Homo-oligomer: A and B are copies of this chain.
Amino acid sequence: MTDKIKVGIVGYGTIGKRVADAVLLQEDMELIGVTARSYNYRMISAQAKNIPMYRWPEADELNGLKMEGEFDDLLQKSDIIVDCSPKPKGAENKEKYYIPKKKKAIYQGGEKAGVGDVSFTAQCNYKECVGKDHIRVVSCNTTGLCRTLNAIKSKYGIEAVHATMIRRGADPWDIRHGPINAIVPVLELPSHHGPDVKTVLKDMPIFTTALSVSSTLMHMHTVTVDCKETPDVDEVLKLFENTSRVRVVDNASKVRSTAEIMEFAKDLGRNRSDMPEIVVWKEAVGVTGNKLLYVQAIHQESDVVCENIDAIRAAMGFEDAEASIKKTNESLGIDFCKECTE
């Protein structure tokens, strides 16, 4: 009991609240608490679930929410902080709090790569992150690309990748941002996702284009890979089925869109109706010559949550990547019923 990892969470938003839920499910971790910056339904729910809250230094009026203490108390009691602040607050907090207090910390992918000693995707580079003090979990899109490209690279080798990222315009709860009725290309080439993949998969020759659409559910990627060896469709499907945190779905089971993926997550009884696995469509994997094409969907709110859990273990010196991934997956129900739809 006494050697559980004591985790504090800074920023209780889309990612922070999910990481809190996930930490509570780990046998080797203890959730010390989360920071409270303002009064809203998220904090009300946290209180209803008895999650300890600590007042952030520049908090707004908290309207009667019950605080366990001040942020300094949270810092002191925690072995490690998972910083889930909106960019670029993570980097600011590092300088202001974590470095001076010599506290290990995990950061999110919105921060610049330099915030971490390493950038992290558990199944790609866990080992090089063991014992590091500052680890950056890459963004949802980058995580998705790393999971599938890492598998393909190890099997066929990769000459070049081009991915088009069709991004949801806003998160499900976000009523401010559009577009309502437009397709909005990112007017820079490559989009930042390509370079970001290289912070994890160092020599990946990837080029990305991005655009936003009027949806809130998931991102979608169409990926073209020039392989070194000729790939085979059935073999690629088998490869993805055997890759952790990747799920193959098909038309036969009526999973034909991001909307049906989200409904499937509800049906599976997932916490917050999340689908942390990267979802690949069986019918949309194709090969022409040495080029492999596939289409994948990314649940922006949840695919990095399990990565944060693994990153905590890596930072704290837990050396066995496989074991960490297995613990995390089992506790969160990840990969559950994966084979059902194959």
With A164-B222, A175-B260, A259-B182: A44-B253 Cβ-Cβ less than 8 Å: yes
Distance of A207 Cα from B254 Cα, bound (Å) = 25
A26 to chain B, nearest CB (A): 18
Copies in the complex: 4
Residues of B within 8 A of A253 (CB): 39-41, 44
Query: Could you say which of A188, A259, A260 has the most chain B C-beta atoms within 10 Å of its C-beta?
Result: A259
A36 to chain B, nearest CB (A): 13
Residues of B within 8 A of A251 (CB): 187
Residues of B within 8 A of A48 (CB): 268, 336-337, 340
With A49-B269, A181-B181, A214-B180: A259-B173 Cβ-Cβ less than 8 Å: yes
- The segment from A80-88, A103-111, A128-136, A289-297 found at the interface with B is A289-297
Q: Mark A147-174, 1 if CB is under 8 A from B, else 0.
A: 0000000000000101010101110111
With A267-B41, A293-B207: A184-B180 Cβ-Cβ less than 8 Å: no
Distance of A337 Cα from B224 Cα, bound (Å) = 36
- In the complex, whether A17 has a CB less than 8 A from a CB of chain B is yes
- In the complex, whether A76 has a CB less than 8 A from a CB of chain B is no
Pairwise interchain contact B182-A175, C-beta atoms closer than 8 A: yes
Pairwise interchain contact B183-A218, C-beta atoms closer than 8 A: yes
With A44-B253, A209-B284: A181-B189 Cβ-Cβ less than 8 Å: no
Residues of B within 8 A of A17 (CB): 267
- In the complex, whether A308 has a CB less than 8 A from a CB of chain B is no
Q: Which of B160, B179, B189, B254 contacts A257 (CB 8 A)?
A: B179
Q: Mark A277-306, 1 if CB is under 8 A from B, else 0.
A: 000010111101101010101000000000
